[in-house]
């Protein structure tokens, strides 16, 4: 129904213009006849003038409901589009493994997608070799203490000229070897998560804790209770929630406009139209030949969306937020890759209004307005056609065709 009404309206307007032209042709038929030979011999060099100027009667203007206005100063932001995902730098994308081989004893109930805090116990790992390692440590510690006492005694004897220097050197060497073993075993136990500070033969343990190294989201689980694992097996993946960032792909034609510090707005189509904010932090230096894009990283600002790994993101990188001269979208037309508008002199005494076509450079479009740059100055007594410009353009083409014939 909507399209039918539009077609009927266009038809009435065309008939209206046609009737006006027939009447005009009758009034000026003699004049055209007298000049016919001169006109035919002309090379049509004034065709462009007919395209750029057209006159309409006030009755026609009222019928097609033309509206006039002036240039507005509005905030029209210029942006480029990008797509991508939420991610984290490699430093903050954790693949959790055990620090020793052994059997897993899972007592927690974590599942994929759950938030986990730093230090939370993911699982316990059990292995009899842990007992042996602690036993070796305690034995070396005991021997080191005895050897230290012997070393001090030998030093005292040598100082009193009652000892043998060669014996002192031997004891010193044995002490150094034991001390090295002690330090090595201490560090091995600390690496495994076993504290040596209060370790005695009474609190030797056969299990160690596997804990989360960060606050973040669990994005993968690869373990089962009772499973035997080696130290290089991946058990769980956690992405730090404190270091999430945007990983965007920008097309090669647009990358030249991207600068560090530019604002980003983005949303996740699968999760609705809620918009979030960010800022360009790093511009990649590698070009992807397959996708024809460059990777751009952005910090998140303000509220953050629920994290889902690899979920698709639509983003806009804002190039400018300055105010600029702009016109309603409907007032700007395009022909042969050239944008233009129509202006008219505000002369209420005349029965006809002359419209002039002026070329412009069109910029970004937002909220019904398009930024424009004028290639020539608009006279102060001229108004811009802000609604119905296409009807003026159609009439100018009819006039141009009539002139050609």
226 with 256, same domain? no
What integer pLDDT is reported at residue 50 of this predicted model?
A: 52
Q: What contacts 24+ positions apart, CB below 8 Å, involve 273-278? A: 274/305, 276/300, 276/302, 276/303, 276/304, 276/305, 277/301, 277/302, 278/245, 278/246, 278/315
Domain encompassing residue 148: 132-192
Chain segment 306-363, per-residue pLDDT in tens:
888 889 999 999 987 667 788 999 999 999 989 999 998 766 667 888 899 999 998 8
C-alpha to C-alpha distance for 267 and 248, rounded to whole angstroms = 12
Chain segment 77-117, per-residue pLDDT in tens:
678 899 999 988 889 999 999 999 999 999 989 999 999 99
Question: Where is the domain boundary, 267, 292, 318?
Answer: 318
332 with 211, same domain? no
What's the angle, vertex CA 133, arms to CA 129 and CA 139, rounded to 5? 140
Is the confidence at residue 210, as pLDDT, over 80? yes
Q: Are strands 115-116 and 78-87 parallel, antiparallel or unpaired?
A: unpaired
pTM of the model as a whole:
0.56
Chain segment 2-51, per-residue pLDDT in tens:
334 443 444 444 444 444 444 444 444 444 444 333 344 444 444 455 56
Q: How many domains does the chain contain in total?
A: 4
Q: Are strands 236-240 and 382-387 parallel, antiparallel or unpaired?
A: unpaired
186 with 256, same domain? no
Whether the Cβ atoms of residue 187 and residue 136 lie closer than 8 Å to each other:
no
Question: Where is the domain boundary, 318, 338, 358?
Answer: 318
Chain segment 135-166, per-residue pLDDT in tens:
999 999 999 999 999 999 999 888 888 778 88
- Give the count of alpha carbons within 13 A of 3, CB side only: 0
Helix (H, G, I), strand (E, B) or coil at 362: strand
Helix (H, G, I), strand (E, B) or coil at 153: helix
Question: Alpha helix (H) ranges present in 28-127?
Answer: 29-34, 36-40, 47-52, 58-63
161 with 141, same domain? yes
């Amino acid at each position: 129904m909507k399209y039918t009404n539009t077609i009927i309206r266009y038809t009435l307007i065309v008939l209206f213009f046609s009737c006006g032209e027939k009447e005009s042709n009758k009034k000026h038929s003699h004049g055209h006849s007298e000049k016919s030979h001169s006109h035919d011999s002309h090379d049509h060099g004034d065709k462009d003038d007919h395209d750029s100027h057209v006159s309409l009667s006030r009755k026609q203007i009222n019928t097609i409901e033309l509206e006039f206005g002036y240039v507005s100063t509005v905030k029209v932001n210029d942006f480029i589009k990008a797509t991508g995902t939420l991610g984290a730098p490699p430093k903050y994308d954790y693949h959790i493994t055990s620090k020793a081989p052994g059997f897993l004893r899972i007592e927690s109930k974590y599942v994929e997608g759950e938030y986990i805090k730093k230090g939370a116990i993911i699982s316990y790992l059990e292995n009899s070799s842990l007992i042996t390692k602690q036993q070796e440590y305690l034995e070396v510690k005991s021997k080191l203490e005895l050897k230290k006492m012997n070393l001090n005694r030998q030093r005292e004897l040598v100082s009193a000229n009652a000892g043998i220097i060669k014996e002192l050197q031997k004891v010193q060497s044995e002490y150094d070897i034991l001390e090295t073993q002690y330090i090595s075993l201490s560090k091995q136990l600390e690496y495994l998560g076993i504290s040596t500070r209060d370790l005695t033969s009474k609190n030797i343990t056969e299990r160690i804790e596997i804990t989360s190294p960060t606050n973040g989201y669990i994005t993968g689980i690869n373990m089962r209770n009772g499973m035997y694992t080696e130290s290089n097996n991946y058990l769980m993946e956690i992405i730090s929630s404190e270091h999430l960032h945007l990983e965007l792909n920008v097309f090669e034609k647009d990358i030249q406009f991207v600068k560090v510090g530019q604002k980003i707005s983005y949303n996740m189509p699968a999760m609705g139209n809620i918009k979030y904010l960010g800022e360009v932090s790093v511009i990649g230096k590698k070009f992807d030949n397959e996708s024809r894009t460059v990777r751009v990283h952005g910090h998140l600002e303000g509220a953050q969306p629920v994290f889902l790994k690899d979920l698709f993101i639509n983003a806009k990188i804002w190039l400018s937020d300055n105010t600029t001269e702009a016109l309603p979208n409907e007032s700007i037309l395009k022909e042969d890759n050239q944008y233009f508008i129509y202006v008219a002199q505000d002369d209420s005494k005349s029965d006809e209004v002359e419209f002039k076509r002026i070329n412009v450079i069109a910029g970004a479009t937002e909220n019904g307005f398009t930024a424009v740059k004028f290639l020539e100055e608009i006279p102060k007594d001229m108004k811009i056609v802000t609604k119905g410009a296409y009807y003026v353009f159609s009439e100018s083409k009819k006039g141009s065709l009539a002139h050609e014939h």
